Structure 1
Amino acid sequence: MLDSLDGLSVSDALGAQFFIMGRSLSGLRSGTPPLGRWDWTDDIEMACSVVAELHQHQQIDQDRLAARFARRFSPERDYGHATVITLRQIRDGKRWKETAGAAFEGQGSCGNGAAMRVAPLGAYYADDPQRAVTEAVRSAQVTHMNSEGVTGAVAVAIAAGQAAFAHHTQTPPTPTEFLTAILGHLEPGETTHGIRRARALFGTTVAEAAHELGNGSRVKSQDTVPFALWAAATYLDDYPAAVTACIEADGDIDTTCAITGGIVAAYTGTATETGVPQTWLAAREPLPSWLTTTNRPAVGSINRGGTSRSTLTIFAVNSGQRRTLARARPVATMRKAAGCNALPCPYIRRAGMHRSGCDVEGSDTRCLETANPGQRSRDHYLARPGDDFCPIPRPAGDCSRSASR
């Protein structure tokens, strides 16, 4: 997780330097990066809050994370306008669900902010991609309620988890394998379409990829995440090359750099020849003093339940007991219409736009929910006691009825 945070913060701070006139891309390529201290932006301030939340609590609590974001919010860090409004309202006492949900005339934000801060979370859950999906959704919704903004965060989290796991197992995927694994966790939409398009562009130049996929100039998930993942997949074993590609692409440079750098550093680390250069780390502004993480957990000890990549942790709604299922077993073969007991299933308040069901294995009944609001999902929400998603009792035996709340 901390390698990813280092990679994210260094690339964000370096990318921000290229908004200043006179910075030389050719100089960077030849080993002469910008002089002076590299100040980081909102990308890092929010990523550090996510890391602190995981370090202290091993999971995302949305109310607590919203409070962290609002408390640490520094306008001079170049926050987006919608996020400034959201965080100021939260700081003034408004609930995050109200303010995030009201953004953009009730559509929620589809910006790239949720994606830019989430890579360390994905690395933290490297051995449990389904849990990474769930926690990435929670981390995104605090500021980005639009399904595209959420999908971007999920994609980046899964990418960082894949990178960290590949580092641990020393089995680097091909670029195509890398993006294919990510797509398996995503819902249909513009961001997903862009990532699928990126998978067909390996072997093209940076300029061609940026032209086809976008470079973040619209500050949306849809035109930011696909290129960032293309760059990460293309240069997974070469952190400087990955970050340089994002700078060459122009656009929202600090954000594409942050996303790509956070993913690639989860694979390369910081103490390797092709990892985050020590001179770049030294140039980066120190991380905030309130960030007190000191340990770098190894893959396999990341999840406090000790689950491996081959297992999926699920919390039974009626008892809160944690259990594991073999991930190799497809969800479709577990979904049955018989034997469901009456129990609350969490639903997201988006009318008629999602589907939920009960997964049953023998007498073991669990309630799973859509990961992304407003979308049908294969990547189910992992139900956890206390989640505030408008509980609705389910009739016995009813495992497939769509909701319209």
Structure 2
Amino acid sequence: MSLPLPGTADDRAVGVLLGAACGDALGVPYEFGPPLPADRVPEMVGGGLGPYAPGEYSDDTQMAVCVAESLRDHDDPLAPEALAATARAFLRWRAEGATDIGNQTARVLGGAEHAWRSDDVARVMTEGAAELYASGVRSAGNGSLMRTGPLALAYLDDPWGLAAAARRYSDLTHGDPLAGEACVLWCEGVRHAVVDGDLAGVRAGLNLLPEDRRDAWSGWLGEAEERPPHAFGDNGFVVRALQAAWSAITHEPDGFTGALRAAVRAGNDTDTVAAIAGALLGARWGAGEIPGEYVSAVHGWPGYRAEGLAGLALAVTRRHG
């Protein structure tokens, strides 16, 4: 298939998954490195922790694909069978395709492996994540935020339904409410960008949070709008990851490429910050604004290239439109 016409809602919907994958692959070579100088142009040269081939995306997009395939195959993302399918997909990915996996996610998936074939696998996974958080284990990593973008494509006309789904899908592996709140904000940003073609949705998403959580997140967004992406160096933490991505986007407001490169230049968890940024940038600017060299190179587990990712994104929107 060819990509949709630039400037259309379909173009922006495809941009969600394709933008995340391109950000992921662009950030892979620089993962856990220092911030890059302002004049350094990141390239899809591969390497990184994999090592990865040039243009190959990592766990960020691999897990987003698991979510998107479940959304493609089920009418109600919050139905038990849809959540179970997603949980099983995560476990299959861990066993067959994970080129990298975060510590928090690895612990939760390992604890749920025995329930692979059970109808209760999503419940077991969620309870395991909640127990880790309750035990004092740090559980606000960026591993649920990085994969959350495709959910927006199933709720383009339903921000409150999207907020509920964002929390529920985050809870599969991350018991800390901070992780779910970050997913709510970013998903609403993505949804709004696909529908309206602007970036107002992230701040509008504050109204989807519990009232007593809005001021904290408004302050964190304000910090990101004032400071450069590399100021949020501890970006394995979900709040800092979101801030780094939002900083890159708000400081480079005029297109896809400059902001995506700024996200990579932030340093540390570069593939994840750039995948998070790429989902929103793709939703805002559309797949047609992604550089052709990125589109032609991007690929990864379980065998997707750009056209396959585009088809998957459109299949989600068609199912839930």
In structure 2, what residue type is equivalent to 1:117?
Answer: R
Instruction: Report the number of matched residues.
Output: 286
Counterpart in the other structure of 2:8: none
In structure 1, what residue type is equivalent to 2:103?
Answer: H
Residue 64 of structure 1 is aligned with which of 68, 85, 99?
A: 85
TM-score (norm 1): 0.62
In structure 1, what residue type is equivalent to 2:109?
Answer: L
Q: Which runs of 5+ in 1 are unaligned?
A: 307-405
Counterpart in the other structure of 1:5: 17
141-150 vs 93-102, greater mean Cα deviation: 93-102
Does 1:260 find its partner at 2:277?
Answer: yes
Deviation at 1:84, TM superposition (A): 0.8
Counterpart in the other structure of 2:219: 196
Deviation at 1:44, TM superposition (A): 1.1
* Per-residue Cα deviation, 1:12-41 (whole angstroms, up to 9, x for no partner): 111111138899873527xx6547613222
Residue 135 of structure 2 is aligned with which of 87, 106, 118?
A: 106
Structural mapping, 1:241-260, within 5 Å: 241-260=258-277
- For CA contacts below 8 A with separation 6 or more, give which structure has more relative contact order: 2
Does 1:97 find its partner at 2:110?
Answer: no
Q: Which runs of 5+ in 2 are unaligned?
A: 1-12, 47-52, 116-120
Distance 1:302 1:134 in 2: 21
**SS of residue in 2 equivalent to 1:224:** helix
Counterpart in the other structure of 1:334: none
Counterpart in the other structure of 2:164: 134
Alignment CA distance shift 1:115-1:21 (3 Å): closer
Deviation at 1:257, TM superposition (A): 0.5
Deviation at 1:58, TM superposition (A): 3.4
Distance 1:192 1:225 in 2: 16
Does 1:26 find its partner at 2:39?
Answer: yes
Residue 15 of structure 1 is aligned with which of 9, 15, 27?
A: 27
Structural mapping, 1:72-83, within 5 Å: 72-73=93-94, 77-83=99-105
More strand by proportion, 1 or 2?
Answer: 1
TM-score (norm 2): 0.77
More helix by proportion, 1 or 2?
Answer: 2
Deviation at 1:135, TM superposition (A): 1.4
| % identical equivalent positions | 22
Residue 277 of structure 1 is aligned with which of 291, 303, 308?
A: 291
Counterpart in the other structure of 2:110: 88
Residue 183 of structure 2 is aligned with which of 141, 147, 153?
A: 153
In structure 2, what residue type is equivalent to 1:16?
Answer: V
**RMSD across aligned C-alpha pairs, in angstroms?**
3.2
Distance 1:293 1:57 in 2: 18
In structure 2, what residue type is equivalent to 1:198?
Answer: L
Alignment CA distance shift 1:26-1:200 (3 Å): closer
Alignment CA distance shift 1:4-1:122 (3 Å): same
Distance 1:53 1:17 in 2: 29
Which has the greater radius of gyration?
Answer: 1
1:10, 1:281 within 8 Å by CA — same for their partners in 2?
yes
Deviation at 1:287, TM superposition (A): 4.8
